[in-house]
């Protein structure tokens, strides 16, 4: 039991740093790690993926709060932009959780992985000696909500914080990188709330749930991860503002490529 707790604490530390520094919810680390852990401790294989994704979303809810606070203190959060995206995101994440609970999403995951790797390569190439310049090209409120719905659906299905889509999209619209990361951190909260609620409802009273679960959320794992992810997210957010925008963009491109590769394989 002690070894298991240490694993959850280590996962939380890594997830928190990613959430704060790169606008990720940490799901790219948490989901595959929990899949392996749940397999080792003998959880039912038929619901391992749902348990891992739902638990990841539960931890993102807490991690994002810490990251949001740190980014807000730096004045980097574009609240009108974040709110418009979040309206679509929360409904999309709820839908994504239900889809993940009832359909096989392997092919969709592979397609999204390919998309993520393409965006990562584009970001890495565009960061070589370039800065975000020119006027922003943000769409109106309606299109922002629609984009948020798409981001939320995919994030709810895969248990990720949405930074892998939100940050490169905002960067393409010429939003400053630090602001894009901050807005992405804000968007992690509606992803976690909408997706988490969807998984709780979809998994409520499932006959194969392990003890300590609420729907598909495994509370012992969520609690252990949150203990370290919450404080480390603030450290990561400070790193985001200390690093040059180009360095941050390249670092995010590497992480995004690894996310895509994980989903494709």
pLDDT digits 0-9 by tens, 172-181: 898 988 898 8
pLDDT, position 265: 81
CA separation for the pair 265, 138 (Å, rounded): 34
pLDDT digits 0-9 by tens, 114-166: 767 877 786 677 655 445 556 788 889 999 999 999 999 989 988 877 777 88
Instruction: Please state the domain extents for the chain.
Output: 2-111+136-242
Q: In the chain, which stretches have pLDDT less than 70?
A: 19-20, 22-25, 104-112, 115, 122-123, 126-134, 245-246, 249
pLDDT, position 235: 82
pTM of the predicted model over 0.85? no
- Backbone dihedral angles phi then psi of residue 213, each to the nearest 5 degrees: -100, 145
CA separation for the pair 251, 182 (Å, rounded): 16
């Amino acid at each position: 039991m002690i070894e298991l707790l240490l694993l959850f604490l280590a996962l939380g530390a890594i997830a928190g740093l990613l959430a704060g520094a790169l606008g990720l919810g940490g799901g790219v680390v948490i989901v595959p790690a929990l899949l392996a852990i749940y397999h080792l401790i003998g959880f039912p294989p038929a619901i391992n993926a749902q348990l891992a994704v739902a638990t990841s979303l539960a931890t993102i809810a807490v991690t994002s709060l810490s990251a949001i606070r740190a980014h807000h203190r730096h004045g980097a959060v574009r609240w009108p932009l974040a709110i418009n995206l979040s309206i679509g995101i929360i409904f999309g994440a709820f839908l994504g959780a239900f889809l993940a609970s009832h359909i096989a999403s392997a092919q969709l995951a592979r397609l999204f992985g390919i998309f993520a790797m393409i965006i990562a390569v584009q970001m890495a190439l565009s960061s070589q000696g370039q800065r975000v310049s020119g006027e922003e090209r943000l769409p109106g409120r309606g299109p922002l909500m629609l984009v948020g719905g798409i981001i939320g659906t995919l994030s709810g299905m895969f248990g990720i914080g949405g930074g892998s889509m939100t940050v490169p999209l905002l960067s393409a619209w010429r939003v400053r990188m630090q602001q894009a990361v901050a807005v992405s951190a804000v968007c992690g909260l509606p992803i976690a709330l909408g997706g988490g609620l969807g998984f709780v409802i979809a998994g409520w009273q499932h006959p194969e749930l392990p003890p300590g679960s609420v729907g598909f959320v495994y509370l012992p794992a969520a609690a252990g991860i949150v203990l370290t992810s919450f404080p480390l997210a603030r450290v990561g957010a400070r790193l985001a503002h200390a690093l040059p925008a180009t360095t941050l963009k390249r670092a995010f491109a590497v992480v995004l490529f690894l996310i895509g590769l994980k989903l494709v394989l």
